Structure 1
Amino acid sequence: MSAKAARLLLELFRMLDFHCKMCLNDLQFCTFMRFASDMSRHKIYQVFDMLDVDRSGEMDFDEFYLMTSILVAQKDGDEKQGSSSTIHAPSST
């Protein structure tokens, strides 16, 4: 991921972190993922639990960065294979 993309990702993370705690709880993460992917709520919570490596019940930026990197790699792989993507780009309206 480029430095510019990482900065944009940090900006997105800060917008999602409306409690200004530099972490997202499961509800904030689920809300974002329901918008950004076609995963079921159950699957999103499984992903949250898997990526909450420190078991804090919250996702810090490093964990969010890891999740985003995995999703981008999956999307890139799907596009190379001609498959449909599970990530949706936010609209710019």
Structure 2
Amino acid sequence: MKVKEGSFVWYLYLDKIYCLLSVRNVKALLEYFRLLDVHHKNTLNDVLFYHFLSYVTNLKSRQIRMVFDMFDCNAVGEIGFEEFYLLVCILLSHQNHLEEQFMYCHSRHVFRLLDINGEQRIGKVNFHLYRFLFNIRNERLKEFFQDFHSSEDRRLNYNEFKIYTIFANEKSKEKQRERMKEDKRNRFRSQLK
């Protein structure tokens, strides 16, 4: 999933530590939400949501419908600003390659989103369906369920999910440090030449 360059969301800044928007950006996002809310109900229905996501991302229509169903937790056919804000933060975490950091910082919200049935457990099927939101590859998903579940039903509770987010975030930071060292070495080598 990618945020389209030049769209409104492209210009918002996501804090790299807490994966939240600044107050100024939240105000701008609220005004944008109000512009999208043509019915003046402080909500977006599925049609408005679909057009918003198709404008700002490269998601397919099936994925957009899945995301709407995921965020419409109480099944009223609309999402409010809180859900919209969370979605925009997820989109920006994708744009900035902060998916693991976002899952770590907001593990409770991510767990609730992935727990579609409200059973306080996430199955491999649900995680597989929505992995495009958090940029999780198939091999990582297999590793995830092999290493972090402790129950017989092969589903994760919140504590197991939280442990995974800590592990994934540390692994991501380690890779980032290695890339920075490699970039530094390459710059040094180019300066010597």
Q: Which bracket does the TM-score occupy, shorter chain normalised?
A: 0.7 to 0.9
**Rounded Cα–Cα distance in structure 1 between residues aligned with 2:31 and 2:88:** 13
**1:24-61 CA distance string (max 9 Å, x none):** 00000001111100001110010011111222210111
Please name the residue that 1:81 is paired with. Answer: none
Matched, 1:7 2:7: no
Please name the residue that 2:71 is paired with. Answer: 51
Letter in 2 for 1:29: F
For the residue of structure 1 that corresponds to 2:73, the secondary structure is: coil
For the residue of structure 1 that corresponds to 2:96, the secondary structure is: helix
What is the TM-score of this pair, normalised by structure 2? 0.39
Q: Which runs of 5+ in 1 are unaligned?
A: 79-93
What is the TM-score of this pair, normalised by structure 1? 0.80
Please name the residue that 1:61 is paired with. Answer: 81
Please name the residue that 1:18 is paired with. Answer: 38
Q: Which runs of 5+ in 2 are unaligned?
A: 1-20, 99-193
Higher RCO (Cα < 8 Å, 6 or more apart): 1
Alignment RMSD: 1.1
**Rounded Cα–Cα distance in structure 2 between residues aligned with 1:56 and 1:11:** 23
Equivalent pair of 1:52/1:58 in contact (CA under 8 Å): yes
For the residue of structure 2 that corresponds to 1:15, the secondary structure is: helix
Please name the residue that 1:87 is paired with. Answer: none
Please name the residue that 1:28 is paired with. Answer: 48
| CA radius of gyration, larger in | 2
